[in-house]
Structure 1
Amino acid sequence: MAGYIKSICLILLLYGANPVFAAEADPEQPSDRQIQIVDVGILATRGEMAAIARWQPLMDWLDSRIPQTRFQLHPYSLDQMATAVKTQSVDFIITNPGQSVQLGRQYSLSWLATLRSPHQGGTGLAIGSAFVVRATSPYQHIQDLKGRPVAAVSEMAFGGYLTLKREMQQAGIDPTGFFSAVDFSGFPLDAIIYKLRDGGVEGAILPVCQLEDMVRDGLIAQQDFRVLNNQAPQGFGCQTSTRLYPNWSFAKTGKAPEALAKQVSRALLALPEDHPAAKAADSLGWTTPISQLVIDKLYQDLDLHPWQNPWWKEALVWLKVNQQWGWLLVILIVVLNAYHFLLEYRFNQNQKRLLKTQSELNEKIAMLEHAQRVAIVGELGASIAHEISQPLAAIQNYSHGGLVRIQKGHSAADLQPVLENIKHQVTRASEIVQRLRGLINKRATVKVLSDIPAIVNDTLLLLKHESERRRVKMVFSVEGQPRLILVDPVGFQQLILNIVKNGMDACTAENARRPLIEIQLAFRAKDIVVRVADNGKGLDAPADTLQSAFYSTKDDGLGLGLAICTDVVKSHHGVLTMNNRDTGGCIVEILLPANDADEQREQGKTT
């Protein structure tokens, strides 16, 4: 508040001491028609009162140096200043370099002088950004405020958001999405510091020296705030988070005459360093205009330069100049789109045909598997007949014995063991028929939790008579703790049946040895392994060739057995390998993932 009171007192003193102001205050006093009113627009970054206190002494200096003129201040915001220049309602403007470039590239402006900074011997570089945080906050670098809210005066404020935005972009940080929110509060700048002090935001983006000015005016305490990423040059009296750019500029609009502009330029350059007007503006007076190329480069880097048009405007300009190429481009786009739709249509048609072909192929594969199973049953006819004939013969014997006992007058209690034996043999015959039906029936592949050792035992029972006839010894063993595994029971049974039957054929072809087939089932933590080893003649061809469809080493073979086995293993996401044994014969190893009951329940929960 002390700073504002000083400003108001200064304005009142100036207002009472200046004869021009006194003439305005008294409507009865006649005005001098020879006095020329000169309108000067001022960018009021800290509000109208602070702008008048800073720049009115300079107006008084110009009044004293240029006879018959009165320079009148007009404090403006950014938008108001742009409107004043556009409508030529002011003769001169005093603004920061960012707005001076923006306006100078769009409207008729002539640069007369650049304000000299009171630091580093009066350099013309004094504009930049200071990223301010509370002294008690934990942040040490700007990068620490990612996802935090900050405040700034405007998205287009040069000595604030824009200079910091360029600095962050060159450091590989996009400020647009870096902070959780950027509160553009507008003028006066003092309000941003107060919002930071009160905890409304975590950081404030201010012009260079704004913090120091408020401390000097007694509005805030220096120890309550810190500036992050300070890179101020040695001897510069303010902290800055960015590089420094040219200071404020004094420019002539198209409204002011050239003769007056020359007088103003001479008066500005003649202002002594220690004059009250220079001190009020926090400067060492004025110097010749400094090149603003660096500011043009900043706006170009941010894609904000007035001479930079949006891409669609550039495209329209190009089309107007090159209409023939434009029409050719339009035709090309239309043709490419039509070609794209044609390709998409053909792709959809081909996809439908492919799906139909795949469905037909799957159906034919199922038919081949069914035909192969039927063929196996035909080959095992003698074994099947033997299996069924045994329970039938037993039933006949038990029935005859029962009749004999009835004829002899035995009681019903004597007949009970006979009837139970008959029932047992009927059950046995029924199980044999069910196994055959399950093997022969054509049905879709369905995976269920199955008892793997039981499936292997059932398969070996089907081959029992055949193995006895050929005098092939079959040994079945189980390692690990058996558990229910998710498989296709029919496909798995066909897999075991084909491999064991091939082993029997290989064993009987080698007469020098006693035929032996070892079937081993190993339950492991993540998988199960089925090993079928024989002591036959071994592989007659490479394993890949034997597993291909319609290749067979047998004179009457169809070449489907091992091909179907490979498909069954692949459908279970397993691996089938075939190798010759060092001791003679062949070993077939099948590795299947152990999708057991526990995993099935977990999959059900997930689904």
Structure 2
Amino acid sequence: MNLYPFIPMRRARYRLKPVSLILIAGLVALPLLTPAAGATEIDEPYPIGRVLTPETAARKDAPDMVRMQVSHFSQPNQNDAIIMPTVRAFQKAFGRDHFYAEVFSGERINPKKTDLVLSSAGTYRRAADVGSRDIGSLVSDRFPDPNHAEGSVFVVRKGNRTYQSLKDLKGLRLVTSGPKAFTGYQVAMGELLREGINPDRFFSDQIVKLNDMPSVVTALRKGEADVGVLRTCFLEDMAAEGKDISDLAVVGAKPETKDFRCVRSTALYPNWTVTITPHATPDVARLAASTLLSMKPIPGNLHWGMATDFTPVDTLFKELKIGPYEYLRHWTLRRFLSEYWPFLTLFIAAVIGLLLHSVRSDRLVERRTRELTKAYAKQKELEERTRRANEHLAALQKNGMIGQMSSMVVHELRQPLATIVNYVQSLLRLSDMHRPNSEAMMQKGLTTIRSEALKADEIVTKVRDYAKRSSGSDTRTVIDLTELVNRSVANLEDSSSYRTPIHSDIRPGCLIEGDRLEIEVAVVNLIKNALEAADRKGGSDARVSVVLDRFETADGESIRLTIENTGDVLTKERLESLGYATKSAKPEGLGLGLAIVRTIIQNHSGSIAFNPREAGGLAVTVTIPAPSHPIS
């Protein structure tokens, strides 16, 4: 009988004995004596609700009663032989009057009503979350490895269509023992998942024959379903009892192994397991474990050992999202956090990073805005200072030029006017010596000339007086030359009109007596000339130095101002013309600047000297006597 329709059978290499021939003849004749192929009636020795210890049924809820539940298993099942010997062993260990056992559906263990449970590994692991612990697993010659003893098979009726793999079953009608059946449903669905198939959408319909695998076979044979799920060895057990299974074929059959000889379509899981619940006392648990492991084997070498790996069952439940992992089928906060915590962690970290970056960016923008605002305010202040300095310099230049030009005009015109006046007076005296008629006319003309000349002199005098009033130099005062030179240097630097830097060495307490406006005009003109000359020459070594100090002379203390600049080498003619009104070296100049400066210095009893530098440029030294006594 080939249960592996797509795997070649091994050829038998032994001689049949007479006894074997009789057994085979009996098996062949058996179908004639049994119900038709469509019938699968099988005795049910352990139906749900059967009490296995009738003597204690009346007092099953007594406080001193040790209660045991035995899971209902689909028939036929060769493992059933271990049930009653196990019950009797516990009766002997705990006392016949203190032990109660019954058969339950196996769907859910209630730890508050039972102490011991005999069930599949699936039923045990579904109760692991309430504290149940295994104390023994079934071992036999048929299943020598308790870790790999149970599985499932996909069964179809043989016909015209051949199913090579599990994927060929798509769209068929499925019949099973129910969604809670471990090997009758859950193991098979887990295998589909491993094949990359979603079992919830794979079949067109699912029919349930609750806890009744023979009815699964009947449904297949009657055409109610196209494919069924049975536990491993179920077909072999039917054949052993003489049932005809020649019309059935297994889909996705896996090769035999030395420790498992039944046909299978799935991976294997631990065998039947006895568990102890949290309701049991430690003494009950100790005695139950020792009783199980000390039981003598029964025929078929059925006995209790220890399975060591229930991880595949837990993995199966997690993949199917059933049992302890039922919550994975529902989007709860727990599941969301459990499945997506790495992504949540990254997301939260990213959000925190963005927030920190945003805060940091805001602070940087804030700080940069403050810096820019401060820089802008400072720039505006510098521009205002530059404007005021330029206005002040222009006013100085204008006032100084007016004052000095007025002085020059007066100086130049006084002598011609005086001569005219003298000649007119002489002519008037001569007129007294001529005749009266001609003399009257001459006297009238000469009088007019004299009057006009006096008027011109008066005009010149008024211009002179206006220049003096404009410059504010009506009286002389003590001038703090240190402060004046420092302010002049600062004003020129603030004006941003020159590229050449100014290096100053100003000694404090340098005082002179004179007109402050005129002295400032002179100082500013000298420093401006030095800056302009250095800018025209240019170069990395361009510089202007301003030095102010005091020194002693034979006549007393004097103040010395030295202004030195880099520049072109001066010719002898150019050097001799400095300080006099000549053509300016600057295209826009009038040639009056240094002449005005010389006049101002001389008016303050001082001297000015121009000394050429060997490397080019000029050193101007101004010397003015310090006041000999305080001026009020």
TM-score relative to the length of structure 1: 0.43
TM-score relative to the length of structure 2: 0.42
Which one has a bigger Cα radius of gyration?
2
